Amino acid sequence: MGKITIEPLSRLEGHGKVTIILDESGKPVDVKLHITAIRGFEQFVVGRPAEEVPRIVPRICGICQTPHHLASVKAVDAAWDVEIPDTAKKLRELMLLGNMIHSHALHFYYLAAPDFILGPDADPKVRNIVGIIEKSPEVAKKAIALRKFGQSIVEKVGGKPIHPVTGIPGGISTTLSEESRDAFLKEIDTMIEYAKEGVELIKSLNEQYINMVKSLGVIDTWYLGIVKDGKHSFYDGVLRFLSPDGSEKVEFPFSEYQDYIGEHIVSHSYVKYPYYKKVGYPEGIYRVGPLAMMNVCDSIPTPLAEEARKEFIDMFGSPANQSLAYHHARLIEILASCERIKELLEDNEITSTDIRAEVEPKAGSGVGVVEAPRGVLIHHYETDENGIVIKANMIVASTHNVPTMEKAIQQAAIEVFKK
Task: Confirm or deny that 339 is annotated as ligand binding.
Answer: no
Q: Is 170 left (phi over 0), alpha (psi -120 to 50) or beta?
A: left
d(CA 2, CA 396) in angstroms, rounded, equals 34
Residue 81 near residue 364, CB atoms below 8 Å: yes
Task: Confirm or deny that 61 is annotated as ligand binding.
Answer: yes
User: Hey, which bits of 27-160 come out as E strands?
Assistant: 28-35
Q: Write the DSSP string, 229-260.
A: TTEE-SSSSEEEEE-TTS--EEEE-GGGHHHH
178-208 and 303-316 are packed helices; what angle lies between their axes, rounded to 10 degrees?
Answer: 20
d(CA 119, CA 129) in angstroms, rounded, equals 13
d(CA 360, CA 131) in angstroms, rounded, equals 53
* Dihedral sign (CA 92, 76, 45, 235): negative
d(CA 403, CA 116) in angstroms, rounded, equals 25
Residue 232 near residue 300, CB atoms below 8 Å: yes
d(CA 348, CA 22) in angstroms, rounded, equals 62
CA angle 266, 220, 312 (to 5 degrees): 130
Q: Which residues of 351-365 are buried (b: 16+ CB within 10 A; e: fewer)?
A: bbeebbeebebeebe
Task: Confirm or deny that 42 is annotated as ligand binding.
Answer: yes
DSSP H helical ranges for 240-394:
257-260, 290-296, 303-316, 326-345
- Residues that constitute the known binding site: 42, 61, 64, 394
- Residues that constitute the known binding site for Mg(2+): 42, 394
- Residues that constitute the known binding site for Ni(2+): 61, 64
- Residues that constitute the known binding site for Fe cation: 64
